[in-house]
Amino acid sequence: MKFEKILVAEDQEMANISLRRTLEEYQLPAPHYAYYCEHALTALKIALKDEQPFDLLVTDLYFQEDGSGKQLPDAKALIKAAKALQPDLKVLVFSGEGKAAIIRSLYDDYHIDGFVRKARGDAQELKSALECIAKNQRYYGREFRSLAAQENQHTFTDYDRTIIRLLAEGHPQKDIPAWLEDHQIQPSGLSTIEKRLNLIKGAMHFTKNEQLIAFCKDIGIL
Amino acid sequence: MKFEKILVAEDQEMANISLRRTLEEYQLPAPHYAYYCEHALTALKIALKDEQPFDLLVTDLYFQEDGSGKQLPDAKALIKAAKALQPDLKVLVFSGEGKAAIIRSLYDDYHIDGFVRKARGDAQELKSALECIAKNQRYYGREFRSLAAQENQHTFTDYDRTIIRLLAEGHPQKDIPAWLEDHQIQPSGLSTIEKRLNLIKGAMHFTKNEQLIAFCKDIGIL
DNA sequence: AGTGAGCTTACGGGAAACCGTAAAAAACAC
DNA sequence: GTGTTTTTTACGGTTTCCCGTAAGCTCACT
């Protein structure tokens, strides 16, 4: 899938160099811009009516208030309205927001497809996010992961760390049960180990052991 | 396999707390000690003659000279003589030596089964080494790996880093060819990727991708 | 052009990992 | 004690990975 029509909702007209450059690099069609929440929603409606709907909305979270009749206080309302209007619309939030609970809520309650924080390295992350979303997958990026760590969405037990360490040392996981028995660590069944790893990876939205190792190195538990 | 009879060659009588403690922890039989190279060799010979041979020699590299007729200048000679005498004897070198070329030579020319450097964390490493050797595998530990990095035994190309990064991000390696094509990176064949990974892992004595990821995180190329 | 060396790729068999299901065991409540 | 829930383990089918072999391609040199 390739994005055909992109809408960028962003009130800082001069900002977002990362965003523009990234879109250009990808040779994506020039996006349409909206500088107010309401305008963004209107643009979506018109496009849909004309049967040339947008397929991606990139939006900031907060907009300056402009005194006018504000039907839409912030981007959350925009996202909710947009998704109601056009359920298949992909939504990527690109914002400076860093609070864990808010980002989590965006994923859980507003069903956004990705969140990238405006910060150092955001261009690189935008790339990954766009690729991911283009493949119809939600993008769980750096922010999401670090907040996962903060929130202790998964707290690593000694048992977890042992298993992960063994993997990082190159033990095939089929050999781990024997090792655990040798060291009188329970439980030692292969199924249990697999289940545990799945639990951890699932909580983190990881799919592969390699990811898990990298993550554990990053947060320093290995 | 479990070690039945251990010989420790070490001239610093009071040193090696790590060593003793580790051996105790493992509930291994109390080792025999030799304080001179010559004594160590003699002990090996006698044990062999009595048909109760040692199965593990743990030795330092350098011994103080004692003026007497020194048939064996250092542990290298001891190792060579010992291996000639009893080829199945396992040899673990435990020394403060840090020079890359020397350690490499021990592995390559003297066929030692493991090297652990006297340093912070050596107790932990001794454990791993003992386990590894008990399984009839050579132990390639921290030292060996870092010297591999120093020596640039393998220099990571951009291509290598790309592949490894993709793995660390959770891409199944079967999907990597497609990704590389999308990004116009050549070569993109799955076989080539596998071959490349094998080359890297081989040079590093790694067996699993998880190890490679951990290593790359450690030396900071990820 | 022809040929050989080196790099790239395709293919196929076997091992390991993945994943769902269900049995066995342990922990707990009553 | 019995019954229930939770944890642990075993099993089987599918996918992915691993690894050796061989075929295809590129490039340089004659």
Q: What would the DSSP string read from start to end of chain A?
A: -----EEEE-S-TT--HHHHHHHHHTTPPPPEEESSHHHHHHHHHHHHHTT---SEEEE-S-----SS--S--SHHHHHHHHHHH-TT-EEEEEES---HHHHHHHHHHS--SEEEESSTTHHHHHHHHHHHHHTT--B--HHHHHHHHHTTSSPPPHHHHHHHHHHHTT--GGGHHHHHHHTT-S---HHHHHHHHHHHHHHHT--SHHHHHHHHHHHT--
What percentage of chain A has pLDDT greater than the value 70?
90
| Chain centre distance of CA B62 | 18
pLDDT score for A3: 87
DSSP state of B19: H
Q: Do A80 and A37 meet the contact criterion of CB atoms below 8 Å apart?
A: no
Interface check for B72 against chain A (CB to CB < 8 A): the answer is no
Nearest CB neighbour to A211, from listed B170, B208, B214: B170
Residue B179 and residue B169 in contact, taking contact as beta carbons nearer than 8 Å: no
Nearest residue on chain B to A131, alpha-carbon basis: B179
Which bases of chain D come closer than 7 Å to a protein CB? 7-11, 16-22
- pLDDT at residue B13 in the model: 59
CB atoms within 10 A of CB A95: 19
Q: CB-based contact (8 Å) between A217 and chain B? A: yes
Rounded to a whole number of angstroms, the distance from the CA of A65 to the nearest CA of chain B is 39
pLDDT tens-digit profile of A36-90?
888 899 999 999 999 999 999 999 888 876 655 566 778 899 999 999 999 999 9
Sequence letter at residue B208: K
Given a contact cutoff of 8 angstroms between Cβ atoms, the answer to whether B81 and B43 are in contact is no
A17, A152 in Cβ contact below 8 A? no
Are A168 and B213 in contact (CB < 8 Å)? yes
> Mind telling me how many Å the CA of A164 is from chain B's nearest CA?
9
CATH fold of B6-150 reads Rossmann fold (3.40.50)
Please give the DSSP secondary-structure letter assigned to residue B69: -
Chain A hits for B127, CB-CB cut-off 8 Å, are: none
Would you state the pLDDT for residue B67? 58
Q: Does the structural domain A6-149 have CATH classification 3.40.50.2300?
A: yes
Which pLDDT score, from 0 to 100, does residue B119 have?
Answer: 75
Q: Using an 8 Å Cβ cutoff, are B106 and B115 in contact?
A: yes
pTM: 0.77
- Spanning CA of B189 to C1' of D23, the rounded length in angstroms is 14
Q: How far is A187 from chain B (nearest CA, A)?
A: 21
Q: What are phi and psi of A94, to 5 degrees?
A: -130, 105
Q: If you average pLDDT over residues A189-203, what whole number do you get?
A: 95
Q: Which of A141-145, A209-213, B6-10, B150-154 has the lowest mean pLDDT?
A: B150-154
Å from A80 to nearest chain B CA? Answer: 30
Segment holding B209, helix H or strand E: helix B209-219
**Cβ proximity of A59 and A78 under 8 Å:** yes
Q: Does the CB of A190 fall within 7 Å of any strand D atom?
A: yes
Q: Which of residues 110-139 of A touch B (CB under 8 A)?
A: 128
Q: Do B213 and A172 touch (CB under 8 A)?
A: no
What is the DSSP code (8-state) at residue B186? S
Answer whether A49's CB lies under 8 Å from A86's CB. no
C-alpha B171/C-alpha B212 separation (Å) is: 15
Distance CA A192, CA A186 (A): 10
Neighbours of B152 (CB within 10 A): 8
Q: Which of B208, B209, B217 sits opposite A217 (nearest CB)?
A: B217
Residue of A nearest to B26 (CA): A183
Tell me the mean pLDDT in the region A182-210.
94
Are the C-beta atoms of A97 and A59 separated by less than 8 Å?
no
Whether A213 and chain B come into contact, CB under 8 Å, resolves to yes
Confidence of residue A166 (pLDDT cuts 50, 70, 90): very high
pLDDT of residue B26: 79
pLDDT at B66: 61
Q: Where are the domains of chain B?
A: 6-150, 158-219
**Residue stretches of chain B with pLDDT short of 50:** none
The whole-number pLDDT of residue A135 equals: 86
Give me the pLDDT at residue A36, please: 84
